[in-house]
Chains A and B, each alone.
Chain A
């Protein structure tokens, strides 16, 4: 009983974490990352470096780092999906 009620929030937590890491539109529209870089996250930073300063190579490198970070989280999520009994996801 305890497990049943505790684990789905973990799944939601992981999903939301990944979503929030990717967040771009709200931040960009509302503050543009400003003032300075106080409200800037990785997504806005990559966009600014790539398309405001046109350092495309650096932006590409940064986006690779982002993929790695998201990948780690996604791996945890997928492991969890696999481990759950009765899930259609199995390997």
Chain B
């Protein structure tokens, strides 16, 4: 009796899960559907779920300025991810293995950068890059995104480094490794899954960032999201094209995730201290 009731209650828990899943996946699927619709079908009431698909939207986007912005987005996101992963790994290892005076406070200061609203640093960044003549360049965006991603990477990677048993490193030191080789040959290979996870997160954040890209770029270095917002023009919004462009923004992240997928999986089956 209790078992039946419990299983029924368990079943009830799936309702909110289903609701949340639908509310997340719904708009995305709707967007994918809109990419294949003609302009008339987009505004049909009631919404058409069976329609004749067209690729005209994708054709229009592929031949437009948007592709350059998408390229900019990928370049900026990749380079800033490489920067933040490199510096973040070294910093996280330092914080994880060496305690110095007030190291916890420094760590919290780094975390507080993560909480900082982008709007708060928008004005100073704009003024700094104006005087450095770096407005509307990739360099400016790479620097800004690295600032935000490093704090995130340090925190995530410190957790991964903390999980490595110190005994492994001590054993390596007994065998004659110096501090650098301990890091390079013992610790680093063990956090590769963590690095992959962090890289995916950093990439997604850099690709999604809108405000700073919107402020710091005008024409040459516009990123994907900014170009997307420019599809809204005074003569109206072409929802088919805007959805096609948005769908294309998903592709680079999907490709990157597939590339690092093997690393992510390896993290689960990686043998630790036995």
Binding site for B on A (CB under 8 A): 18, 21-22, 24-25, 28-29, 42-43, 46-47, 50-51, 56, 59-60, 63-64, 66-67, 70-71, 73-74, 77-78, 88-91
CB distance from B145 to the nearest CB of A (A): 15
CB distance from A23 to the nearest CB of B (A): 9
Contacting residues, chain A, for B229 (C-beta < 8 A)? 29
Contact assessment for B116 and A67 in the assembled complex, using a CB-CB cutoff below 8 Å: yes
CB distance from A3 to the nearest CB of B (A): 21
Within 8 A of A (CB), among B210-234: 210-211, 215, 225, 229, 232
Contact assessment for B122 and A71 in the assembled complex, using a CB-CB cutoff below 8 Å: no
Is B47's CB within 8 Å of the partner chain A?
Answer: no
Q: Mark B107-121, 1 if CB is under 8 A from A, else 0.
A: 010011001111111
Docked Cα-Cα span, A31 to B39, in Å, equals 23
Q: What residue in chain A is nearest B114 (Cβ atoms)?
A: A74
Question: What are the 10 A-B residue pairs with the smallest beta carbon separation, nearest first?
Answer: A91-B104, A63-B120, A25-B210, A22-B117, A43-B119, A74-B115, A67-B120, A60-B123, A46-B119, A24-B211
- The 11 listed contacts between A and B (C-beta, < 8 Å) are A18-B115, A25-B210, A43-B117, A47-B122, A47-B215, A59-B123, A66-B119, A70-B117, A73-B115, A78-B108, A78-B112
Q: What residue in chain A is nearest B232 (Cβ atoms)?
A: A29
Contact assessment for B210 and A66 in the assembled complex, using a CB-CB cutoff below 8 Å: no
Q: What residue in chain B is nearest A73 (Cβ atoms)?
A: B115
Contact assessment for A51 and B104 in the assembled complex, using a CB-CB cutoff below 8 Å: no
Within 8 A of A (CB), among B105-155: 105, 108, 111-112, 115-124, 126-127
Binding site for A on B (CB under 8 A): 104-105, 108, 111-112, 115-124, 126-127, 158-159, 162, 210-211, 215, 225, 229, 232
Contact assessment for A46 and B112 in the assembled complex, using a CB-CB cutoff below 8 Å: no
Contacting residues, chain B, for A29 (C-beta < 8 A)? 210, 229, 232
Q: What residue in chain B is nearest A58 (Cβ atoms)?
A: B123
Docked Cα-Cα span, A90 to B158, in Å, equals 13
Contacting residues, chain B, for A73 (C-beta < 8 A)? 115
Tell me which of B119, B127, B158 contacts A22 (CB under 8 A). B119
Chain B interface, DSSP helix/strand/loop, else mixed: helix
A-B pairs under 8 A by CB, number = 72
Docked Cα-Cα span, A67 to B120, in Å, equals 7
- Given A56-B127, A88-B159, also A47-B211 (CB < 8 A): yes
CB distance from A84 to the nearest CB of B (A): 14
Q: What residue in chain B is nearest A49 (Cβ atoms)?
A: B123
Q: What residue in chain B is nearest A51 (Cβ atoms)?
A: B215
Contact assessment for B112 and A71 in the assembled complex, using a CB-CB cutoff below 8 Å: yes
Docked Cα-Cα span, A89 to B111, in Å, equals 11
- Given A56-B123, A60-B124, A88-B159, also A24-B118 (CB < 8 A): yes
Contact assessment for A42 and B115 in the assembled complex, using a CB-CB cutoff below 8 Å: no
Contacting residues, chain A, for B111 (C-beta < 8 A)? 78
Most B Cβ at <10 Å: residue of A21, A43, A63, A71 = A63
CB distance from B200 to the nearest CB of A (A): 19
Contacting residues, chain A, for B115 (C-beta < 8 A)? 18, 70-71, 73-74, 77
